[in-house]
A and B are shown apart, each in its own frame.
Chain A
Amino acid sequence: MLGSGPVILDRLLERRLVVISGKGGVGKSVTGAALALAAVKSGRRTLLVEVDSPLEATRYLGARPAGGSVREARPGLFTVNLSPSAVMDEYVRHVVKLEMLARRILDSPVYHRFFAAAPGLRELMVLGKIMTLEEERESWSRRPRYDLVIVDAPATGHGLSFLKVPRAASEAVPVGPIGVNARRIQALLQDPKRTALLVVAIPEEMAVVEAAWFHRLATKELGLDCAGIVLNAASEERFSRAEEAEVLRLTAEKADLGPALPAARRQIRRRKRTRFYEKRLAALDAPLVSLPFLPDDPIGPEALERLVARLEEA
């Protein structure tokens, strides 16, 4: 269980695309940043993609917020923040070669009202853009520009429909370039050699329920390969059995240790909860790695290094 760190890391790093999913607030961004850092350390040119959240992952890296275009945050580590509407505008410009006409379309109320709200279109555009980034090649060597693309997907609920969109789109729009693209995205996502899903949870009932639910739907229904599950904010083993017993005894004796005993009891409880959810998640058909709770405020590059070390170690 806890020894599956390198297994997960190896499994993730051999792909081209890693999609990180989980309920909101479980630390997907911090996981994505740690994974990106581990990938860079292994010598991979890595692109970390965020969707519509300019502040998250790059903050942990100690870098400036990612912008709409790809930027090198550290040597070998690139970041980009995709705004769905900007991606869509870019697509229109790409399709309509005439800048003047493109601008008139982009300015027209119909475009704004319809295309901005059309179901799934934004998600499809973002996924299409991710696919394009994955396919990018250096002009001289023709080798892929990035060895690994990591996507910090929008929270579950949204996240799942995010991944469902290509299939829905290829069914709704069977012909034309959109349909063709939707099928290519679908093929990329479903190819276990190229794409892996990483599910993230924290030791809380709802987060774990949702992770299990998401894992099942993604693997069984959408045909994605789940390469691992991350349990964030895991409590570490602090007290030995004997020490735990001593804490309980001191509590029963009403020993006067100020706030120390309640704090110790809370820690023991959190540790128990962590173990309980580790067991639940381990029962899913994917390797599990637990990452420790970080007390740092704010979480910066140093704290991130501790997660990277945990991902790397046996």
Chain B
Amino acid sequence: MAARRPSAALSAALAERHVLVVCGAGGVGKTTTAAALGLEAARLGRRALVCTIDPSRRLATSLGLGQLSQKPRRLPLGRFGVAAEGEMWAMTLDTKGTFDSLVERFAGSEAARRRILGNRFYQQVSAALAGTHEYMAMEKLLELSADARFDLVILDTPPTRHALDFLEAPDRMMSFLDASVLRWFLKPYFVAGRLTLKVATRTGAALLGLVDRYLGLQFLQDLSEFFLAFEAMYDGFKERAARVFGLLREPTSGFVLVASPAQASLDEVLYFHRRLEEKRMPFVALVVNRLHPQPSGPARRRASAAVSPGLAAKLAEVLAEEHLVARAEHRRVGRVEVDIGRRPVPVPELESDVHDLRGLAEVAGALFGSA
């Protein structure tokens, strides 16, 4: 058997698995990688959907589409001369919309639904609460993974500063919504509707006094209302969250980590990889984007007579600089390989930015060596 390509595990995952989650810090080419994976999956004959949270229309840009809809849309691969047996679909995720529809699903009554959707705190929270994007991305993943139109869903995770936010955020959000913790000091307050405090503990009373002094009565009322309304839905939310985590642990799911050759980026995926192991979530591959080409031996001598002396000197200079950069990058990536025990999939710096499906096909080619 020929030596396995570094991309072998990735190809196998694209051919067999049902859910792939693409993770990495912002700015490492995560979205483009996710899209290229979708394209390759379509080539392998699968019906693949790429779903992204897209505050700045990244995926749309890399697909050459002006706008991506919040409903899955099938991409015209043939029109760009990309031959594929399968299908490639793409969509963006609307966090607020997903949250709203969750509320609609779990709110027991029309009145409860209206109370929450109209709550000022909810309106702020559903967009701004730490972890909402990540939680909603997972929520959507659950829904899409059950959609019969697709046999592979590729989730491009929200752009976070730290890749790890994606795994931690839902826990943080669920903790926040855990009404049972807050009830004991908010509910009596709300029910009383005024400043008379009947709180069991001194700490609770102090905390409440603090909140009231610093945040004001109106805010507290909005907040209490929000939690009271949410209380009934909490179990539903929690159950969904547990199912998402279950889904991510399935052997038919997998995580693809994306990094740039910068040390900070590599450190971060290493950490993420460790956390995946701790959480027993299946790791598929590490993709390292924008690598400079590996130095292939010393710069060749013999500046042929045809090269002007000025140019010859500059050629040597540019080549030497490139070697310097490439060596440092490969050294760093080599260390990561030792740590995760699997060869990273290298993607060389591309000739141009990805503007359309053709460009995306080039990325896929670089990933899978088919170009």
> Which residues of A does B touch, CB under 8 Å?
23-26, 52, 55-56, 92, 95-96, 101, 104-105, 108-114, 116-120, 122, 154-158, 161, 168, 172-179, 204-207, 209-210, 213, 238-239, 243, 246-247, 250, 253, 255-264, 266-267, 269, 273, 295, 297-298
Chain B positions 292-323 with a Cβ under 8 Å from a chain A Cβ:
293, 295-297, 299-300, 302-304, 306-308, 310-311, 314-319, 321-322
Going nearest first, the 8 A-B pairs with the smallest beta carbon separation are: A25-B27, A258-B300, A24-B26, A297-B328, A119-B128, A117-B176, A24-B27, A175-B216
Please give the distance in Å from A121's CB to the nearest CB on chain B.
9
Q: Could you say which of B28, B210, B299, B307 contacts A246, with CB atoms under 8 Å apart?
A: B307
Q: Which of B161, B293, B349 has the most CB of A within 10 A?
A: B161
Beta-carbon contact of A178 and B61 below 8 Å: no
Which residue in chain A gives the minimum CB-CB distance to B217? A175
Q: Could you say which of B202, B207, B328 contacts A110, with CB atoms under 8 Å apart?
A: B207
CA distance A297 to B32 in the complex (A): 26
**A117-B173 contact given A23-B26, A96-B206, A173-B215, CB 8 Å threshold:** yes
Which residue in chain A gives the minimum CB-CB distance to B126? A119
CA distance A253 to B307 in the complex (A): 12
Chain B interface size, as a band, is 35 or more
CA distance A280 to B337 in the complex (A): 38
Chain B residues within an 8 Å CB radius of A119: 124-125, 128-130
**A260-B304 contact given A25-B27, A117-B129, A173-B215, CB 8 Å threshold:** no
Please give the distance in Å from A105's CB to the nearest CB on chain B.
6
Please give the distance in Å from B265's CB to the nearest CB on chain A.
7
Chain B positions 1-47 with a Cβ under 8 Å from a chain A Cβ:
25-28, 31-32
Chain A residues within an 8 Å CB radius of B297: 258-259
Beta-carbon contact of A157 and B26 below 8 Å: yes
Beta-carbon contact of A25 and B262 below 8 Å: yes
Please give the distance in Å from A165's CB to the nearest CB on chain B.
8
Residue pairs across A and B with CB atoms within 8 Å: the count is: 203
Chain A residues within an 8 Å CB radius of B102: none
In the assembled complex, B264 has its CB within 8 A of some CB on chain A: yes
Question: A250-B307, A256-B300 known; 20 other A-B pairs, CB under 8 Å?
Answer: A101-B202, A112-B175, A113-B175, A113-B176, A114-B176, A116-B172, A119-B129, A155-B26, A155-B159, A158-B160, A172-B219, A173-B215, A205-B354, A206-B56, A210-B56, A213-B56, A260-B299, A260-B319, A264-B318, A295-B328
Chain B positions 329-371 with a Cβ under 8 Å from a chain A Cβ:
332, 349, 351-355
Chain B residues within an 8 Å CB radius of A264: 314-315, 318-319
CA distance A273 to B204 in the complex (A): 59
